[in-house]
Amino acid sequence: MTKLGLTSAAAAALGILLTGASAFGQNAPPPFPTAPSPNAPLPFVSPIFGDNMVLQRGKADTIWGWSKPGDTIRVQIGSHEATGTAGADHRWQVRIKPPAPGGPYTLTISGPQTLELHNVLVGDVWLCGGQSNMELPLRFTANAKEVAKAANDPEIRYFTVAGRPAYRPTNLIGGSWRAVTPATAEWLSAVAFYFGRKVQRQTHIPIGLVVDAVGGSPAEAWTSAAALHTMGDFDVPLADLQRLADSGAPEYGNYIMHWYDKYDTGIKQKWFAPETNETDWKSVHVPGGFAELGVPDTPAVVWFRRKITLPDPLPAGRAAIHLGEIERMDTVYVNGTEVGGSAWVENPRVYYLRPGVLKPGENLIAIRVFKTKPDGGFLGKPEELQLVLGEQKIPLAGEWKAKLSVDARPPHPMPIGYENWPVMPTVLYKGMLEPITPLSITGAIWYQGAQNSPRGYQYRRLLPVMIADWRRAFGQGDFPFYIVSLPAFGPRSATPTDDAWAETRESQAIAAATVPNSCLAVTIDTGDPNSLHPKQKEPVGDRLARCALAKYYHQHVVSSGPTLKSVQREPGSIVLHFAHTDGGLVVKGDKLGEFSIAGDDRKWYWADGRIKGNTVIVSSPSVPHPTQVRYAWQSNPEATLFNGSGLPAGPFRTDDWSGITQNARPY
């Protein structure tokens, strides 16, 4: 995992490892934009503005940049113009009334220099935030080729903000505006694409999509320190972050890299380099190796090295290293070049190698493994470890050289967290959100929660705090904020159970029900039990668009599935009354299922359910005096209750909302 770049971090979080820009074709946009250097000079105009952009209709648009103090800057679009003056901090800012929706227009910014922005549209700008399921490009989702081929939507434009964690306030972001065409659509967030396409087709208003998402990121990473301090939960990591910022430490955005910098002898002495002396290294067998080095049960960082000889010429085809699952974290180097890494234990490692990394003759593979459990390290079967060169497979299991770098016990305290992508509080707010907060927008869509799911009860406080923080930062009132409820994931429980994902969904639903001008897009009938990144993204975008069309554009669109309105206890049963039953309650599948009930003893049993009008009557012979009921209360439930418009009911429970993890704290 590259320490400073977000490209491989985001890709690893998605389970996608890229081979470099050369793989994408000369006319294709780069898959991930590049963040500017922290020391980059401040430009005349902020990078959020450019050719092909969309300006927000119906309100003054803020345009900004940097020039010498005292410089007068003039902005003109259509018949409208406005001026501003650069302050002592070199920043200038102009607010200008936009022309009529549509276009294209030319936006001219003049002062000490003149810049013309062409093909500018005026319409609605939506901020698309979250983690990997918002970030996931269209090309990695279902029916991608067919959808991209038909994606000739010039009135939809997108700007993907380059991934960048920051420990201090920043001014610049990386990225560029693109019109949606068959050549560019495949690199747009799939959820944002389907949302924008439906909204644009229904409203005929130009749509701008600003994608601000990073795989694996928690909500606190997108929230300011001032807002987080009001909760009290994050004071410890915020203090640690401030210490790192004050020390001038590299802005990794996570804890593990700083821990490596402090304790990992191997990284300090460059044990990944081909010229490393292996005289005092021990021969070990991989999978395995930790017991042979004296740390069978101890958390430890161990480096492994192996030399392989390849023919000349190299076999044709794509090259990849397969290592199976690894606990807890690995970083892989080939001939001294870092080629990948992951801290996602359940993700079988597959690292694709860019052309030129391998060479004919002797090649060195070096792997750093940080294991935290007695049975950690390489978890895969020997046959899963291999170097694949086109059609040729070279086994990697067997004898390696290895050396202990750090025995991760006192006096080497364990890091706060093990992720090698940005998870620290505030770092994405500072690096990717705050720099664009003067931008005029319509609202936001948000697909996130998996990273916070171990703290699902806390999320019901954190998410509203984050939403309020965004609204404060943008200064445009309580703009629309539409939330994706987590889809189905993981093994299906055969018995009623408590579940962190279900609790997180409940927190999302509570936020949507209590935060003004918000909406919940329920996706419980979608998902993949074996993947955090389900490929069916059209239903997600569709339901977010329904929220916007109904609540912001005031169209006659059904935006919600059945929602629980009231509960009526009857002898031997519970009657659930539902709202949003447009077209009536409908059963999907063989029978109405996923209901469970309990009495005062809180012992849960599966229950029978039957629809009567706008109610569902739930009962079980195992619970003669039921007092509480749950629906779809597990990670991967079977969604069975819908309304006549085809939208699913979201998971819910009527029992005590105190939560099973209410005392959980993140650190």
Cβ-Cβ contacts under 8 Å for 148 (sequence gap 6 or more): 138, 139, 182, 185, 186
The pLDDT assigned to 37 comes to: 87
pLDDT exceeds cutoff 60 at 578: yes
pLDDT exceeds cutoff 70 at 8: no
Letter string b/e over residues 60-89, b meaning 16 or more CB atoms within 10 A of that residue's CB: ebbbbbbbeeebebebbbbeeebebebeee
Q: How far apart are the first and last CA of the chain?
A: 24
- What mean pLDDT is predicted for residues 418-444? 97
pLDDT exceeds cutoff 60 at 5: no
The pLDDT assigned to 664 comes to: 36
75-96: pLDDT as tens digits = 999 999 999 999 999 999 999 9
The pLDDT assigned to 347 comes to: 86
- Of residues 2 and 401, which shows the higher confidence score? 401
169-193: pLDDT as tens digits = 999 999 999 999 999 999 999 999 9
In this structure, whether the domain defined by 1-46+122-254+421-559 belongs to CATH 3.40.50.1110 is answered with: yes
The pLDDT assigned to 656 comes to: 62
DSSP-derived pairing of the beta strands 443-447 and 114-130: parallel
- What mean pLDDT is predicted for residues 452-474? 97
CA atoms within 13 A on the CB side of 384: 13
Q: How far apart are CA 60 and CA 103, in angstroms?
A: 17
613-662: pLDDT as tens digits = 999 999 999 999 999 999 999 999 999 999 999 999 999 999 964 443 33
How many residues belong to the chain?
Answer: 667
Of these ranges, 200-204, 340-344, 497-501, the one predicted with the greatest mean pLDDT is: 200-204
The pLDDT assigned to 345 comes to: 87
Instruction: List the chain domain ranges.
Output: 1-46+122-254+421-559, 266-407, 563-649
- What mean pLDDT is predicted for residues 215-235? 97
pLDDT exceeds cutoff 60 at 476: yes
Nearest in space to 192 (alpha carbons), one of 217, 221, 159, 149: 159
DSSP-derived pairing of the beta strands 443-447 and 481-484: parallel
Q: How confident is the model at residue 31 (pLDDT cuts 50, 70, 90)?
A: low
- What mean pLDDT is predicted for residues 580-584? 96
pLDDT exceeds cutoff 80 at 23: no
Q: Count of CB atoms within 10 A of residue 477's CB?
A: 9
Strand-pairing partners, residue 631, are 595, 652
- What mean pLDDT is predicted for residues 531-554? 97
With H, G, I as helix, E, B as strand and everything else as coil, classify residue 435: helix
- Of residues 28 and 259, which shows the higher confidence score? 259
pLDDT exceeds cutoff 60 at 14: no
Strand-pairing partners, residue 349, are 324
At the top level of CATH, the class of 266-407 is mainly beta
